[in-house]
Amino acid sequence: MKERKNARLILSLLGVAAIYFLGWFIEQRSGSKSMVVTVLQKGAVYALIAVSMNLLNGFVGLFSLGQAGFMLVGAYTYAILTIPMAKRAAVYQYYDGGWVQFTVGVIPAMIAAGLIAAVFAALIGIPVLRLKGDYLAIATLGFAEIIRAIVQWDTIGPLTNGSNLLKTYPTLKNIMPGNSVLFVFLVVGVCIGLILLIINSTYGRAMKAIRDDEIAAEAMGINLFHHKQMAFVISSFFAGVGGALLAMYQGSLQANSFKSSMTYEILLIVVIGGLGSVSGSVIASFLFIAASEWWLRFLDSEMLVGDFKVPLLAPGFRMVVFSVVIMVVVLFFRRGIMGDRELWEIGRRRGAKGGRIQ
Partner 1 sequence: MSLLKVTNLVVSYGGIEALKGISFDVEEGQIVTLIGANGAGKSTTLRCISGLVPCREGRIYFEGRDITDYNTQKIVETGIAMVPEGRRVFANLTVLENLRIGAYLRKDREVIEEDIQYVYDLFPRLKERSWQLAGTLSGGEQQMLAVGRAVMTRPRMIMMDEPSLGLAPLVVKDIFKIIQTLKSTGMTVLLIEQNANAALHACDYAYVMETGRITMTGTGEELLASEAIQEAYLGRRG
Residue 100: partners with Cβ closer than 8 Å, 6 or more residues away: 80, 81, 88, 159
Nearer Cβ to partner 1, position 205 or 334?
Answer: 205
What minimum distance in Å lies between the beta carbon of 32 and partner 1?
A: 43
Contacts of 201 (CB under 8 A, 6+ apart): none
Neighbours of 52 (CB within 10 A): 30
Residue from 113, 217, 282, 338 in contact with partner 1 (CB under 8 A): 217
Nearest in space to 144 (alpha carbons), one of 256, 35, 253: 256
The CA distance from 80 to 160, in Å, is 7
User: Is 212 an interacting residue with respect to partner 1 (CB under 8 A)?
Assistant: yes
First to last CA, the chain: 31
**Which window, 1-9, 158-166, 322-330, 349-357, contacts partner 1 (CB under 8 A)?**
349-357
Residues in Cβ contact with 150 at an 8 Å cutoff, skipping those fewer than 6 apart: 156
Q: One symbol per residue from 223 to 262: x for binding partner 1 (CB under 8 A), - otherwise; what is it?
A: x---------------------------------------
Determine the interface stretch with partner 1 among 72-80, 201-209, 243-251, 266-274 (rule: CB under 8 A): 201-209
Nearest to 26 by CA among 50, 47, 43, 51: 43
Contact string 288-327 vs partner 1 (x = CB under 8 A): ----------------------------------------
Binding status of residue 355 toward partner 1 by CB under 8 A: yes
Find, among 134, 116, 135, the residue nearest to 236 by Cα. Answer: 116
SS3 41: helix
**Which of 24/203 has CB closer to partner 1?**
203
- By beta-carbon proximity to partner 1, the closer residue of 131 and 222 is 222
Residue whose CB is less far from partner 1, 155 or 202: 202
> Which is nearer to partner 1, 173 or 208 (by Cβ)?
208
Report the interface residues with partner 1, using CB under 8 A.
202, 205-206, 208-209, 211-213, 215-223, 276, 340, 351-357
